[in-house]
Amino acid sequence: MTDTDRSSTGTLVLPVLRSPNAVALPEMVVTVALESSEARAAADAASDDQVLLVPVLEGSFARVGALATIENRGTLPNGTPALTLRVTDRAVLGAAHAGTGDALSVGATVVADTTTDETAALATRYRALAGALIDEIGGGRWKAALPDTEHPGALADTIAYWPELSFEQRLELLEAVDVDDRLRLAIGWAERALQELHLARSVRDEVNESIERDQREAVLRRQLAAIRKELGDDDGGVLDDYRARLDGLEVPGPARSAIAKEIDRLERTGEQSQEGQWIRGWLDSVFEVPWGERSDDHLDLVAARAVLDGDHTGLDDVKDRVIEHLAVRKLQRERGVDREAGRRANAILTLVGPPGVGKTSLGQSVADALGRRFVRLALGGIRDEAEIRGHRRTYVGARPGRLVRALVEAGTMNPVILLDEIDKIGADHRGDPSAALLEVLDPAQNHSFRDHYLEFELDLSDVVFVATANQLETIPAALLDRVEVIRLDGYTDAEKGVIARDHILPRLRARMGLAEDEVVIEDAAIDRVVGEWTREAGVRSLERQLDKLLRKAATSLATGARPAPVTIGADDLVASLGKPAPRDDLTARAGGPGVATGLAVTGAGGDVLFVETSVTDGDEGLLLTGQLGDVMKESGEIARSYLRANAERLGLAGLDRRLHVHFPSGAVPKDGPSAGITMTTALASLLSGRPVRPEVAMTGEISLQGKVLPIGGVKQKLLAAHRAGITTVIIPARNEIDLDDVPADVREALDVHLVEDISDVLDLALAAA
C-alpha cells in the first residue's frame, strides 16, 4: 500500500512537508523549496503527486494541514530542488505512520465545506467589508480574486491576501474548518483593519490641518513683524529680549539648548495663545535662576572661627567640621587642585539634637563663616513630592520646586541651604518627599538634579546643605546613610548662663530698644532663672523667661514707675516670673521599695523617668503600662525572666504572682532597650523589700544572662541627670568612651559607675534591707 492509499480507518496517509514560515490555503498555488532530506524524501514518497503541507508553530505541528497536488517538479536558480503545489483541501491531521526513508507520513481526513442558513448573510457582509478595504489600500491579488470567488468557504480564505495578517492569524484561518466560523474571523479582521485605517486617516488629516494652520500663522506673524518694522514700531519684541538674555547668561549646554528650543516654540506658537502663555511663564522662571552667579568663599580660617565662636557658645564639633571644609577648599585653591566638574565631594551636615540648642541659627552662622548667602527651607509637615522636585508643566499653576526657588531667593548658585526639621517630612498618596531628597543629599548625584518643571539638569554640587532634626529614628535609613550626623546634646547650666549673658540678653535688648545700662540683670538672677525656671536641653524657655523680665523692666521705664538703671536681682524673680517650675522630689518619688530612677532620650533631649512596680494576687504574669513600645515591653519580659532564674540567689519572693510595671507620664510614648536595668532593679527592689537609693539613676540594656549592654545618648542622659539633681549614675562599662563627650563640670558633679553585670547594678542601687 502506497503513502496515498487509504488506511483501514478511511483516512488518507500522506507524506508531510513542513511549512514553518507560511500557511497555504485552498485555491492557492505555492512553490516549496526542498532544502532538507526529509522534504526531499516526502516529495519522492508522493507517488500520487499528493502531499500534506503542515504549518509548524514553536516546534509543533498545526492541527489542520493543507492537501496539495504536485503540479511541477523543478529546480530553483540556486540549484535547490522545488515543487509547485496547488492546494485543494483542508485536512485534519491524525496519527503518524511509518514513512519511506526520512519521510514522515500521517493520517489525514479531508474536510468538506458545508453551509448553513447564516452562511449567505455572513458571506455578503464579508464581501462588502473586503471591497471597502480593497478600495482603501488597493487590493492587488485580493482585488482580482474577490469577484471570481463564489463559494463562501473560499471567499473567507481570500482574507489571507490582506498583507497585515500575521502568521498566527493565517494559521487560525486554516484551522477554522467550519465555514461560518471562518467567515466570522474574516469579518472581524476586516472590520478592525478598516477602523485602524479610518483612525490613521483622521489623525493624518488633523496633523496636516494643524501644520497648515501653524504655517499660515507663522507667515502672518512675519508679515506683521515686517509691517511694524516699516512703521517704526519695532522695539525688539519679547522674543529678542529672551534671546538677548540667554546670550548673556552662563548656562550649561543642555539647559541652553532647552531654553533656545522653547523660545523657538514661542515664536511658532504666538504670544497670545494659551500655550504661548505657558511657555512665557516657563521662560520667566528659567531666567530667574541665578545662572553663573556664585559667592566667593571666605577662606580665612581664623576669621571664620571667630564668626562661629561669636554666634554660638560650645558646639565645637560643628565648628570644627566647618573649618575643615574651609581648610580643604583653601588648599585646593592654593595648590590648583581641579575638582572634577559637577562631582564635588561636599558632605551633607545633619545637626541632630533637642529643640532650642541652636541648630537653625547655626546654619546662618555657617553661611556667614563661608561668606555665602543663606536660605532656610522648612520641611516639617511637607507631604507632596512636588514641593521638592516641582510640578510637571502640564499642570495648571505648575511651578519649580523649593530647591530651585531657594536658588532664586539666594541669588547665587552656591548658597547655604538649611533643610529644617528633616525628620518631620510626611508621606502619603501624593508621594514621599524624603525619597526625592535622596538625590539632593547625595554628593555623588546632586550634580545632575532634575526639577520636574524645568525639565533639565541643575548642578547642586556646590551648594552647602545643612539639615536639622530632633531625632534620627524618623529619618529613613537610605536618607540617613547619605548625610554626616553631628549631635548637639544640649547645654549645661553653666553654658546656659554664658549664652544668656553673651547672646540672648544683647539680642533682646536690641529688639526692645533698651540700652545695656538701662536694665541690668545680675549674674545670680540669671543663674537662678536657669536652675529654677528652666529645665530644658536648649535655651528657648530661658529666652522666654529673660524676655519676660526685660518686658516688665521696659514697662517700668516707659511708665516712669522706676528710673534707669533698673537692676534685677535674684530676689526679684518671683515678682516678675511667678513661682519657679516645680521639681520632682527624688527622695519622695523613689523613697520606697519597687521604684527606680532611669534615664532616657526623647525628642526634647535627655530626661529622667521613674519606674514603679507592684505585686498583686492573680495569675502569674507581667503587666506593663505607660504607653510603651514593643522593645521596652520585651525588656520587661527579659528582666522578669532573669529574676525568676536567679530568684534564690538574689533572695526574691513573689515572682509567681502578678507583677505590674508602670512608667508615669503615660501620655508620652516610650520605647527602646535602655530601661532594661532600671526595670530589673525596680522589680528586684520590690521583691526583696530593699529600696533603691534616691540619688541613683541608671541606664542600660539587659540580656537574659544578666549582662549590661551599651546604649546611646549617654551625654544627653547625663546632662538630664545633672539638671535633676542626681549625684550617682550607673551606665554600661562599654559606654565609657562616651564620657569624653560629657562636659568636664558635669563629670565632676556626677559619680559615674561603669558596670558589666546586673549584680553590680543591684549592689550599687539597692539600700540595705
Residues designated catalytic: 674, 717
The total of other beta-carbon atoms located within 10 Å of residue 633's CB is: 14
Contact 645, 627 (CB under 8 A): no
Nearest Cα to Cα of residue 566 among 518, 631, 610: 518
Q: Name which of 658, 673, 539 is nearest 598 in CA terms.
A: 673
* Nearest CA-CA partner of 723 in 572, 542, 596, 579: 542
Q: Which amino acid is at 630?
A: D
Determine what percent of the chain falls in helix, strand and coil, rounding each to the nearest 5: 45, 20, 35
Q: What is the 3-state secondary structure (H, E, C) of 18-69?
A: EECCCCCCCCCEEEEECCCHHHHHHHHHCCCCEEEEEEEECCEECCEEEEEE
Are 407 and 413 in contact, with CB atoms under 8 Å apart? yes
End-to-end Cα, the chain, rounded Å: 115
Whether omega before 565 lies within 30 degrees of 0, making that bond cis, reads yes
- Cβ-in-10-Å burial (0-12, 13-18, 19+) of 760 comes to middle
Cα distance between residue 54 and residue 62, in whole Å: 6
What number of helices (H) and strands (E) belong to the chain? Answer: 28, 25
Residue 575's Cβ-count burial label (10 Å; 0-12, 13-18, 19+) is exposed
Alpha helices in 560-620 (DSSP H): 573-577, 586-589
Nearest CA-CA partner of 260 in 293, 220, 287: 287
Q: Where are the alpha helices (DSSP H) in 231-315?
A: 237-247, 253-269, 274-288, 301-311
